[in-house]
Amino acid sequence: MSDFKVSEIFIGAGAALDVATTVLPSMTKQLGIVGPDMIVPSLTASTIALAPELFIVNKLANGDFKRSNPIKGTSVTGYKGQAYVPARRAIWSVGYHRPFLANTEIIGTSRTFTAAGGSIAVSVSSLYEMSIRFKNDKSFYSQRPEVLSISFTSAANATQLSIATQIAAAINNSKFGSAIAGVKEIVALVIGDGTGLYGLTSAVNYGVEITGLIINQFQSTQYSEELVAFSAHVDDSTAFAATDCLEVQTPKRGTGTYNQVYNLENKLMGLLDRTSYTRPTQAFLSTATLTASASVISATTQPTGALSAATTGLLGANTVGYDVVEVATATSGLRPGESITINAVTYEIKYIISATKFVLTSPITATVAAQTLLVNYGYNIIVINVEDKAQLDGSGASTFSKKNVIIATRAIDAGDTDPFLATAPAATNASAECVDVITCLNAWMTTTPLAPAALVLSKRF
């Protein structure tokens, strides 16, 4: 989601909107739309002739209502939206790397993959030097890179495995890799092209997979989500020489994630806004609990197929303690960063390695084969841009006041049987709440002077 100069945010819980003619005090749903008479308009036939302006409404837990500034039909300058996209992590490799998705921004059957490959140059009793540059937000006005410099001497009987182990230890024992959970920024894992756990059995080539971690959010000095972003660099003038070093996956904040929605809500309620006084009482509506689909093994669109039997061979999968999952049909509906649930255990997809396999951020802890596979989604985001003409007191001059209203509505209903369907609104692809919101706004927006195209949310990266 792009960073807008947000005026207001309204957050839904997924339930269908209150029916037309419901008056504001009688609303029972967390999210609503009302006209100037404070009555819910027709969800299918609302026009600016019938409702010259609309208001977005949230009902709070204590029964109070939070209402937007008026959205005047004649003042609308923009109407757009984005479907939920999970945030994904930065991943780099030194030496051998597993296969990975080459065109990460593509969803569906047109994906292509980069084959596994790479190795570490071996030189005994030699100096190896590399660095990792971090690009996290470190101050309010700028980004200050931090650098982890790594330097070590290989053993007299050095091998690819021993050098990979030294690299991983240097990273994991550094201040960036050894801090407490929520503060540490990266983790390094030794992998190989053999069989067994992480491909380390009988491997010929070895490497180090470096992954960005989830760090603490929502500190009072923070104005936006912090995402670990870094790049790895080997010094080929040292013994690293022609050692492979490449980016496996770029990080991305996603759209409609809890971190995003919470930060917007947090900022607009004054906790991060140092210019608004008196700061209002905080009543958060965003939730970190995602909405779980039905099993996508037999989803109507892009089913994954059954979870395969456990294997321990090359890129072994579905084995307790391993970090690779294999499905029988396709990973085309899944995305890096996706939250999934298998056998009542929730995992995060780190990256996708083939048409039927993906890597998790943590090892498998319970039986996978023949279990159900659920995907867990956050919020779809709708943004309305308004530009009102405002009179300047005493000057006789006027100016235009730009406002943005963001609506965060649940992406899917609980138990959705077709979460991979490509577009919304559609009763089988979005929450009842999202369908109602888009249906109502589409009808009303087409009668405004701007007359924007009907909003369609496309599932994407």
- Report CA-CA distances (Å) from 148 to 174, 190, 388: 8, 18, 50
Instruction: Please check whether residues 120 and 241 belong to one and the same domain.
Output: yes
346, 377, 408 - which closes a domain = 377
Cβ atoms 131, 114 nearer than 8 A:
no
Please give the average pLDDT of every successive group of 10 residues along the chain, which has 461 residues. 64 96 96 96 91 96 91 95 93 97 69 94 98 73 75 98 98 90 89 95 97 76 74 97 96 91 79 52 85 93 93 92 96 94 97 95 95 96 88 66 92 90 61 94 95 84 55
Domain count for the chain, please give it: 3
The predicted structure's pLDDT at residue 311: 93
Residue 340: closest CA among 316, 315, 366: 366
In a domain, 397, yes or no: yes
Instruction: Please check whether residues 194 and 313 belong to one and the same domain.
Output: no
377, 410, 430 - which closes a domain = 377
Give residue-wise pLDDT tens across range 348-367: 999 999 999 999 999 999 99
User: Do you find a cis peptide bond into 425, omega within 30 degrees of 0?
Assistant: yes
Sheet holding 339-342, edge to edge: 291-292, 373-377, 339-342, 345-352, 357-360, 324-326
The predicted structure's pLDDT at residue 388: 82
- Report CA-CA distances (Å) from 174 to 95, 132, 185, 364, 457: 20, 11, 10, 27, 43
| CA 251 to mean position of chain CA atoms | 10
In a domain, 431, yes or no: yes
The predicted structure's pLDDT at residue 1: 42
Give residue-wise pLDDT tens across range 69-103: 999 999 999 999 999 999 999 999 999 999 998 87
Instruction: Please check whether residues 315 and 421 belong to one and the same domain.
Output: no
Instruction: Please check whether residues 77 and 99 belong to one and the same domain.
Output: no
In a domain, 280, yes or no: no
CATH number at residue 321: 2.40.10
Instruction: Please check whether residues 155 and 65 belong to one and the same domain.
Output: no
- Report CA-CA distances (Å) from 175 to 134, 180, 229, 337: 12, 10, 16, 25
The predicted structure's pLDDT at residue 138: 53
In a domain, 284, yes or no: no
Instruction: Please check whether residues 75 and 98 belong to one and the same domain.
Output: no
Q: Please count the residues of the chain.
A: 461
Enclosing domain of residue 453? 8-82+391-458
CA distance 253 to 408: 16
Instruction: Please check whether residues 104 and 178 belong to one and the same domain.
Output: yes
List for the chain the helix, strand, coil content (%; round to 5).
10, 30, 60
Specify the pTM. 0.91
197, 221, 251 - which closes a domain = 251
The predicted structure's pLDDT at residue 3: 40
Instruction: Please check whether residues 311 and 360 belong to one and the same domain.
Output: yes
Instruction: Please check whether residues 238 and 127 belong to one and the same domain.
Output: yes
User: Do you find a cis peptide bond into 300, omega within 30 degrees of 0?
Assistant: no
Instruction: Please check whether residues 62 and 126 belong to one and the same domain.
Output: no
Dihedral angle sign, alpha carbons of residues 351, 352, 353, 358: positive
In a domain, 383, yes or no: no
Instruction: Please check whether residues 214 and 319 belong to one and the same domain.
Output: no
Sequence-distant (≥ 6) Cβ neighbours of residue 22 within 8 angstroms: 39, 40
Ramachandran assignment for 233, one of left (phi > 0), alpha (psi -120 to 50 degrees), beta (any other): beta
Instruction: Please check whether residues 61 and 203 belong to one and the same domain.
Output: no
In a domain, 382, yes or no: no
In a domain, 277, yes or no: no
In a domain, 246, yes or no: yes
